[in-house]
Every structure is written in structure tokens, then in C-alpha cells.
């Protein structure tokens, strides 16, 4: 998976610098590391002591029936307004995590951190951003997987060790986290959170290698799974992507030369940074006063990029894995119209993630697209239910049918996915109660039959309706007049030559990296998020891995 010990010990003192003036760059080769410069150890200034804990109950309502991307990251080097640009970029990535946000900057050799629970706009204001001067910053938005959302688990994390301090923001999930944590604790490490990201910090601190970059490579040798990470030290911004490239990470540059990393290109667009390229799978990029250096020190097998970024997670205006998300979703809708046609009067979408696919379906079918469902953008995660139960209250609070569009019509409704099926059944009922003559569901993804272990919050496989029922049984369960999913083979045909580069585990149940220890969210589980109890207290959220899982074949089958 990563560099060998021999590679680490034989690096020479020369260095190579990549020019970022053009958008097309060669893939990095094995490049030696520069010798470290002696510098003053960096102090860490925290604004998130252990006692500063905010509890926020976030019960899952059955209308909130979508997979959740667990976080987004940003890194900025070389701009005097780094913290404010980071703040804006996190706004653009807010869809990737809504329960916590944080920014770390470097000023006068001190890492300064502000983190908080809530939306980016809840956590930061002018006063807090004034506390984060400097031209070097990283940021993070977080979606917690279960239980309570704790301030101490909100990233970026900052830690001090004998050679200085380091800040880290991580998007992904380590499949060998529990094993690594147990080993580190046996050797004396003390953990402050339940986040797998903290393991990376401990591996860096306990590494015997110097300089700092070699410690990162050493840590990456030991971790398995999905990780797109940005690190910050007193004088460096470092971006790392796992060898399979599960989660996205892109690089751009502002007009003043500042280098920017982000989970999606929509963040670059907001802060007027020009997209240059992706961080390659297995690549380590170092940005400091010497420029930008690309170090490909980890072996990179066949990439396994998360296909669900194009189906649901990313914003339509982003470019992910070199492809327009908007174009992908529009084409998925066209495929559904071609391969699963039905006589209808109007095409509508489940907003917001189904809109682009619905536009593609309507255009291909030659049927008008209209807004048959209006989404409320003012509903928070928690609300007060009426004492007398109102049927489908949660869905009605978020989605309102438009009777003028629906009444007496044969309606095709396009959604991005079906997970448990509970939301889809309520939407069908809402549409029929609003007068729809027929409701035909079209889903712009293949059936989801497997849980994700690479940084996406999904239910356990027994809760996934497509893992338990046939398409016809699902149709009966949700009450629609017809139901069709995006055919798996058609999805791969659309991706063409890039098809072998994607991870399809949620559709196939075949995992590129064997999830030997699995943390899966189950309905009703209470998972401690760092304040009380030990790892054993979250045993209900761990399931035994299938030891018969095999490496996914080229093509994803």
C-alpha cells in the first residue's frame, strides 16, 4: 500500500518542484525529499479544551434517508486572508458536513485553532476570524456518524510533539483504526477523541523518521482505507490522498499565487481559485516557501474513486475525478428515459439532488419538467413534533407537493437513490394525496446493497431495502405504479475507460480494501462520541467483517 522502509531510508537530499502554471501536469514520479531545515519548534494554541463540550442531540428521522458524506477539507497557503478564504470555502462545502466546523491558521510560529458545533456560519463570526491571522490555514466541516456531536471531535485537530506541532483535517475512514488505536494505547498513547483521525497524529508523533514529510509517509504505511488529508505545520501545507483515491481532493491557485486544496472544485470557484488538477491517488504534495513538490512515495494500485460523489454527494457545479458532476447526473437521467420509459404527462424531481437527473430524463423523453415538490430550506436537524401524531410529518415539513402540477397527471418522479425506502414511500403517498393519477419512480443510481466503510455514513446492509427485496417488492413497498433503477452496466458504460477506476462496493458488495473491522450505523444505536465510556461501549455499532471478501476485479465486477 505504501512506501517500503527501504524507500524511506534511502531518500537523497535532492528535491524536485512541480510548476503549477499549467492545468495539465504529468503524473508524479518517485521523487526524493529535501533535507529538513532547522526551525523553531511550533507551539499550539487551542480554543477547544476537553471541558468545552457542546451536546447536540441529532436523532435520525426516517425522512432523513440518504447516505451522508462525513466531511470536507480545505487548505490554503500563501494568502494573507487565509482564514477568511478558508471560511468561504467551507461554506461551499457545507453540504459535506453540517454538524461541526473548524479552522487552524499559523501565525508567528503558533498554530491557532477555532472549532465549534454547528454550521460554518454558526461557528465563525468576524471576531473569531480576527483571532486567526496568517497566510497558511486548513479547515474542516464534519458530519458525525452517530450519537452525539462533541466539540472535541470537531476537526482540524492540533497536536504538539517533540519536533513541533501539526494540524490535520481528514476526509475518509480508516478500516484498521481500532487495531492501530489498541496498539498505540498499549505503547502508552493517550487519546482525547474517538475519531480515527487522531490515530494519524499519534503515528506521526511516534515515528522515528525525520523530517516531517517522512513521518507522514511512515504513518501512511500503517493506515488502511480512505483518506484525503491536509496537514499544516509552522511553514508547510501538505496534502495526501490514499493510494486508491477513494475520496476526492483537488488543487487550485489564486491569482496572487496562493495554493488551495479542497474536497471539491465548488470551493475553489467561490474563492476565485483556478482549478489545476486532482491530487493523485498515493500522492503527497508539499507546499512551502520553496514552491510545490509532488512526492509519489506510496504505491498506487488501481484507483477506486467513490462513484457516489457523482450520484449524490458532490454539488452539481463541481468537477470530481476530472468529470462534471452536472453532466454525469444529466446523463443518468437520459439513460433512465431511454432504458426505462413510461407514458407520462410531467417529470418532477425530489429536490435538490434529483433535479439534474430529472432534467436529463425530461429532455430525453420530450416531457415537460416542472417543480412538483418544493423543498423548505429552513428546517433544522431538530424540531418539535406536534403532540398528536401527523402522518408523514417529517417529510411534509421538508417537501411540499404542488397540486397544480400534479392533479390528474401521470407523474415521473426522479430521485438519486433509495436507501431504506421509508422516504420514497412517503413521497409517493404525498404525490397521490395531491392528486397525481400515477406515480412512476425513477432512481438515478443502481440499487444500494452494501454499506460503505470508506468515509460515508450508511446503514448496515440488513437495513438497505435493495439488499432485502427485489425491484418489484420495493415498488410494492413504496406504493408507486412503476419503479426503475439506473442499470449498473449502463453506469459503467457511461464511465467508459474510467470505469475500472471507480469503487462500486455499495452496488456490488465487493470491497477494494477489505473492511476487517467495521463500524456501521444501525437504527437505534447509541454510539458514544468521545465524552463517556470506552471503545467497548460502542460495540453495538461494530460488526464482524466478512473474511471471504475479495479484491474487486478490474471493471468493478
Active-site residue set: 71
Place of cell 494573507: 80
Distance CA 68, CA 56 (A): 18
Distance CA 15, CA 29 (A): 12
Write the DSSP symbol of residue 369.
B
Write the DSSP symbol of residue 41.
P
Question: Known binder of ligand: residue 415?
Answer: yes
Distance CA 414, CA 327 (A): 16
Asked whether 232 and 137 are in contact (CB, 8 A), the reply is yes
Question: Known binder of ligand: residue 452?
Answer: yes
Place of cell 488505536: 181
Asked whether 261 and 250 are in contact (CB, 8 A), the reply is yes
Question: Known binder of ligand: residue 64?
Answer: no
Max intra-chain CA distance, the chain: 76
Distance CA 75, CA 229 (A): 9
Distance CA 367, CA 279 (A): 41
Question: Known binder of ligand: residue 345?
Answer: no
Give the full edge-to-edge strand order of the sheet including 284-288: 157-161, 164-174, 225-232, 237-241, 284-288, 291-295
Chain-centre distance for alpha carbon 457: 9
Distance CA 274, CA 282 (A): 23
Asked whether 170 and 193 are in contact (CB, 8 A), the reply is no
Residues 6+ apart with CB under 8 A from 424: 65, 415, 418, 441, 478, 480
Write the DSSP symbol of residue 498.
G
Residue among 59, 58, 64 at smallest CA distance from 426: 64
Please give the backbone phi and psi of residue 216, each rounded to the nearest 5 degrees, phi first: -65, -45
Q: What is the separation, in whole angstroms, between the first and last Cα of the chain?
A: 22
Structural Rg of the chain based on CA atoms: 24
Burial 520-535 (b: 16+ CB within 10 A, else e): bbeeebebbbbbeeee
Question: Known binder of ligand: residue 296?
Answer: no
Stated as kind and residue range, the H or E segment containing 443 is strand 438-443
Three-class DSSP category at 478: helix
Three-class DSSP category at 515: coil
Q: For strands 259-262 and 250-254, give the pairing.
A: antiparallel
Question: Known binder of ligand: residue 344?
Answer: no
3-state helix, strand, coil in the chain (%, to 5): 30, 25, 45
Question: Known binder of ligand: residue 266?
Answer: no
Please enumerate, by residue number, every residue annotated as part of a binding site.
306, 353, 415-416, 452, 503, 506
Annotated binding-site residues for [4Fe-4S] cluster read: 306, 452, 503, 506
Known binding residues for Mg(2+): 353, 415-416
Amino acid at each position: 500500500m505504501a512506501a517500503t522502509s527501504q524507500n524511506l531510508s534511502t531518500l537523497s537530499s535532492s528535491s524536485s518542484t512541480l510548476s503549477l502554471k499549467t492545468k495539465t501536469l504529468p503524473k508524479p514520479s518517485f521523487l526524493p525529499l529535501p533535507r529538513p531545515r532547522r526551525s523553531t519548534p511550533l507551539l499550539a494554541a487551542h480554543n477547544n479544551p476537553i471541558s468545552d463540550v457542546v451536546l447536540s442531540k441529532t436523532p435520525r428521522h426516517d425522512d432523513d434517508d440518504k447516505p451522508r458524506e462525513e466531511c470536507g477539507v480545505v487548505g490554503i497557503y500563501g494568502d494573507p486572508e487565509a482564514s477568511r478564504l478558508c471560511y468561504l470555502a467551507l461554506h461551499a462545502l457545507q453540504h459535506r458536513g453540517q454538524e461541526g466546523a473548524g479552522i487552524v491558521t499559523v501565525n508567528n510560529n503558533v498554530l491557532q485553532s477555532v472549532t465549534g458545533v454547528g454550521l460554518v456560519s454558526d461557528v465563525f463570526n468576524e471576531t473569531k476570524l480576527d483571532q486567526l491571522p496568517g497566510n497558511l490555514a486548513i479547515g474542516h466541516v464534519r458530519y458525525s456518524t452517530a450519537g452525539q456531536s462533541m466539540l472535541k471531535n470537531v476537526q482540524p485537530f492540533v497536536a504538539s510533539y517533540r519536533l513541533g506541532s501539526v494540524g490535520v483535517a481528514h476526509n475518509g475512514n480508516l478500516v484498521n483504526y481500532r487495531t492501530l488505536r489498541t496498539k498505540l494505547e498499549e505503547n502508552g498513547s493517550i487519546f482525547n477523541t474517538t475519531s480515527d483521525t487522531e490515530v494519524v497524529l499519534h503515528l506521526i508523533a511516534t515515528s522515528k523518521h525525520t523530517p516531517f514529510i517522512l513521518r507522514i509517509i511512515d504513518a501512511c504505511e500503517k493506515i488502511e482505507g480512505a483518506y484525503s488529508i491536509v496537514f499544516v505545520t509552522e511553514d508547510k501545507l501538505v496534502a495526501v490522498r490514499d493510494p486508491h483515491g477513494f475520496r476526492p481532493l483537488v488543487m487550485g491557485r489564486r491569482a496572487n499565487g496562493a495554493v488551495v486544496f479542497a474536497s471539491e472544485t465548488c470551493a475553489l470557484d467561490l474563492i476565485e481559485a483556478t482549478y489545476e488538477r486532482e491530487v493523485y491517488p498515493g500522492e503527497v504534495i508539499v507546499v512551502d516557501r520553496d514552491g510545490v513538490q509532488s512526492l509519489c512515495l506510496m504505491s498506487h494500485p488501481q484507483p477506486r474513486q467513490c462513484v457516489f460523489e457523482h450520484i449524490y454527494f458532490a454539488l452539481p457545479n463541481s468537477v470530481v475525478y476530472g468529470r462534471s458532476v452536472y453532466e454525469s447526473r444529466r446523463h443518468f437521467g437520459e439513460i433512465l428515459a431511454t432504458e426505462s420509459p413510461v407514458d407520462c404527462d410531467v417529470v418532477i424531481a425530489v429536490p435538490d439532488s434529483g433535479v439534474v437527473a430529472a432534467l436529463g430524463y425530461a429532455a430525453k423523453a420530450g416531457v415537460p419538467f416542472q417543480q412538483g415538490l418544493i423543498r423548505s430550506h429552513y428546517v433544522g436537524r431538530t424540531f418539535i413534533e406536534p403532540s398528536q401524531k401527523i402522518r408523514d410529518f417529517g417529510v411534509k415539513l421538508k417537501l411540499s407537493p404542488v397540486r397544480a402540477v400534479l392533479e390528474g397527471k401521470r407523474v415521473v418522479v426522479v430521485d438519486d437513490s433509495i436507501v431504506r425506502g421509508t422516504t420514497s414511500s412517503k413521497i409517493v403517498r404525498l404525490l397521490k394525496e395531491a392528486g397525481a393519477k400515477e406515480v412512476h419512480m425513477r432512481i438515478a443510481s443502481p440499487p444500494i446493497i452494501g454499506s460503505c466503510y470508506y468515509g460515508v455514513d450508511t446503514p448496515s446492509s440488513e437495513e438497505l431495502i435493495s439488499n432485502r427485496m427485489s425491484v418489484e417488492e420495493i415498488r410494492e413497498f413504496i406504493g408507486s405504479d412503476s419503479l426503475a433503477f439506473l442499470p449498473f452496466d449502463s453506469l459503467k458504460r457511461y464511465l467508459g475507460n474510467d470505469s475500472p477506476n471507480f469503487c462500486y462496493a455499495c452496488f456490488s458488495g465487493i470491497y477494494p480494501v477489505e473492511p476487517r473491522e467495521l463500524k456501521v450505523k444501525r437504527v437505534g444505536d447509541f454510539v458514544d462520541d468521545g465524552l463517556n465510556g470506552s471503545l467497548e461501549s460502542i460495540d453495538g455499532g461494530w460488526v464482524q467483517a466478512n473474511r471471504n471478501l475479495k479484491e474487486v476485479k478490474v471493471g468493478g465486477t
